[in-house]
Structure 1
Amino acid sequence: MLRNCGKFQTPIRLLSTVQKIDYKLNPNDIPGDATIFSMVQPTGTFHLGNYLGATRVWEDLCALKQPQQKLLFGVADLHALTIPKPNVEEFRRFRNEAIASILASGIDPSQASVMYQSSIPQHSQLHWLLSTLASMGYLNRMTQWKSKSNIKQSTQDDAAVGNVKLGLFSYPVLQAADVLIYRATHVPVGDDQSQHLELTRHLAEQFNKLYKTDYFPLPKTLLAPTRKILSLSSPERKMSKSDPDKASLIYVNDDPHAIKKKIKRAVTDSITDRFNYDPINRPGVSNLLNIVSGIQRKPMEEVERDVAMMNNFNDLKNYVTDVIVEELRGPRELFARFMKEPDYLDTVVTRGTEEAQQLADQNYREIANIVGL
């Protein structure tokens, strides 16, 4: 893996900055004094990819939390506005559902601070300071603003690039500020966010070098053990709520009937004498096996052995359905309960915001002093 440095490329510190966590965390994976931070966007109820790729790891971290560790998990509502949300009431509902989904996934608010990004103004304040260190060239190499703007990676179309909004172009700097305002040491994310964590480390290094300090730690990327969950109908793409085909994704609060119907319609292939993990030649089947592997916390070799005796897609899909239904039973019931308890959600967010605000305020005062403000 390479990092661009001007016109040269140098190896990044892969072993020291990226840690692939196992299917089940153990206490030795994370230092006892770690500060762990992560957020999800408020797109409403979580889907299976959100659950396996992010929040279930958060649940593990809560369960193994040591006394000196800090856990901060949030809803990235400022990031969500990089794509304008003119339906304000829907956006507010999505924010609320995101909090309910976080708690339904097993995150314990007595162990972790749960908050809205927008409630902590120091995120935006640090964003400005870091933006004075972030070069246009580095940001131009980031991939997500191009994909969200439907711009090809190699395009030189000045008109298309000229229509990109500044917030969308610079939001990786805000992501860096989200992490660094808490001086986070570890950030659990999916592999599609690794590029943004490398920018975060780059900006932390730039700040430390410029001001001759070691104030910001270089946060380590904690890669979730589950491979990216793909669309059930188009397994060349990741599972996403923006997909117009709503049968392509499974929501955490889908009932068993809906899950069975969606898995039954999932794209597979014409090979029925064996079911093996081969994402290049059998992407649909591999996606189903990957889901089972993630839920059961099993290596793919074990999953393949479990399905080796099946010789038709009906058996395979019934098996996958049963695994998903059983896994999501608890989160589905908790989500429904929390959505009926808005006062409880408000209490959780208020407490989490106060805890995060105290840390962010303390750190920003120190940062401001370093830069001469």
Structure 2
Amino acid sequence: MTQARLFSGMQPSADSLQIGNYIGALMQWRDMQDAYDAFFCVVDLHAITVPQDPAELREKTRRTAAQYIAAGIEPSKSTLYVQSQVPAHAELAWILSTVTGFGEAGRMTQFKDKSQRYGSDQTSVALFTYPVLMAADILLYQANVVPVGDDQKQHVELTRNLAERFNSRFGETFTVPEPVIQSDTARIYDLQTPTSKMSKSAESQAGVLYLLDDISATAKKIMRAVTDSDGTVHYDREGKPGVANLLTIYAALTGRQIASIEDEYAGRGYGDFKKGLRDVVVSEFEPVRERALELLADPAELDRLLAANAEKAAETAEKTLSAVYDRIGLLRRG
């Protein structure tokens, strides 16, 4: 029986992924790669919708790919590649832009948020068409499912609309994908500002746990995490956001129920609880960090591995693109 296909990706926008990426994406991908024909992409074309330093982008792309592998995304099980190394992504994005309404592209909330932040003169056309490129990423591989964060759900809905519209106009061509949205309980918040989602763009890095940070720095950040004056280890997202966030991390990394962790630390206070969480995070991060740094120490071998996977991805992508060109009436080179 043919496995259903999965596609997902992540931008190389930081030197190190953070624990929210790890719990919200990488752990999920690692589990799903056994059940699906999985394509995982470092989406570097998306990263250049805002200004980038070329040398830094190249390094961040390698570092992101290395962390994928170190976290358990196995190139022998999954197709792990760099987006720009498969030209069909950009080619299909142009075709899909011809069936995308200007109004529906303009309604994408991420574009509206970012364009307001940067101003119209600093907002690129690429940022506006970002969701169309994302649709191309997904549809190229005839993906059945797309694991994404809740903030990307609108983009997957656009992808579904474009697939259905193209199929209706030109004949059955694309698989219409289903989003797999992470649960709210998997959302990770800043350790110092636990009402804000953890992000590399936070004003202070004291509340962000990075996979490639020195382990001692990670431990210190956990021990200094904001809690409250109540002193009880109890989950209450509204009333005790700091403690609730730490419980979420603990439960996600151990696979335990939050109630079980609450019982373990009943009457023991925040000091013991933070030490327990520190040990959990360190034991999870340490081997990932070591493996990622090992991969980055041999960039030529990492590049070879990614190139081989890009060739594999291109075989599938070109089949879809060829069908699209035929359907839409483009004259192919003989």
Q: TM-score, normalised by structure 2?
A: 0.92
Structure 2 residue aligned with 1:7: none
Structure 1 residue aligned with 2:234: 276
Contact (CA 8 Å) 2:190, 2:198: kept in 1 or not?
A: yes
Aligned residue type for 1:247:
A
Of 314, 326, 329, 1:357 maps to 314
Aligned residue type for 1:41:
Q
Which has more helix, going by share of residues? 2
Structure 2 residue aligned with 1:45: 16
Structure 2: runs of 5+ lacking an equivalent: none
Shift of residue 150, structure 1, vs aligned partner: 4.3
Structure 2 residue aligned with 1:81: 48
Aligned residue type for 1:117:
Q
Aligned residue type for 2:97:
S
Structure 1 residue aligned with 2:275: 318
Q: What CA distance in whole angstroms lies between the structure 2 residues aligned with 1:192 and 1:277? A: 24
Structure 1 residues 55-105: Cα deviation after superposition (integer angstroms, max 9, x where no partner): 12222223x24xxx52211111010111111x2211211111011111111
Flag the 1:57–1:72 CA change in 2: closer, same or farther, 3 A. Answer: same
Aligned residue type for 1:323:
V
Structure 1 residues 168-191: Cα deviation after superposition (integer angstroms, max 9, x where no partner): 111011101100011111112222
Q: 1:55-66 residue pairs with structure 2 within 5 A?
A: 55-62=26-33, 64-65=34-35
Structure 1 residues 238-269: Cα deviation after superposition (integer angstroms, max 9, x where no partner): 11111231112111122331112111222222
Aligned residue type for 2:218:
I
| 2:218 equivalent to 1:251 | no
Q: 1:55-204 residue pairs with structure 2 within 5 A?
A: 55-62=26-33, 64-65=34-35, 69-85=36-52, 87-151=53-117, 160-161=119-120, 163-204=122-163
Identity of aligned residues (%): 39
Shift of residue 224, structure 1, vs aligned partner: 3.3
Flag the 1:119–1:292 CA change in 2: closer, same or farther, 3 A. Answer: same
Shift of residue 298, structure 1, vs aligned partner: 2.6
Contact (CA 8 Å) 2:7, 2:147: kept in 1 or not?
A: yes
Shift of residue 136, structure 1, vs aligned partner: 2.3
Contact (CA 8 Å) 1:79, 1:171: kept in 2 or not?
A: yes
Aligned residue type for 1:240:
S
Structure 1: runs of 5+ lacking an equivalent: 1-30, 152-158
Structure 1 residues 131-152: Cα deviation after superposition (integer angstroms, max 9, x where no partner): 122222222221212333345x
Structure 2 residue aligned with 1:299: 257
Count of aligned residue pairs for this structure pair: 328
Contact (CA 8 Å) 1:113, 1:351: kept in 2 or not?
A: no
Structure 2 residue aligned with 1:34: 4
Give secondary structure in 1 for the equivalent of 2:66. helix
Structure 1 residue aligned with 2:325: 368
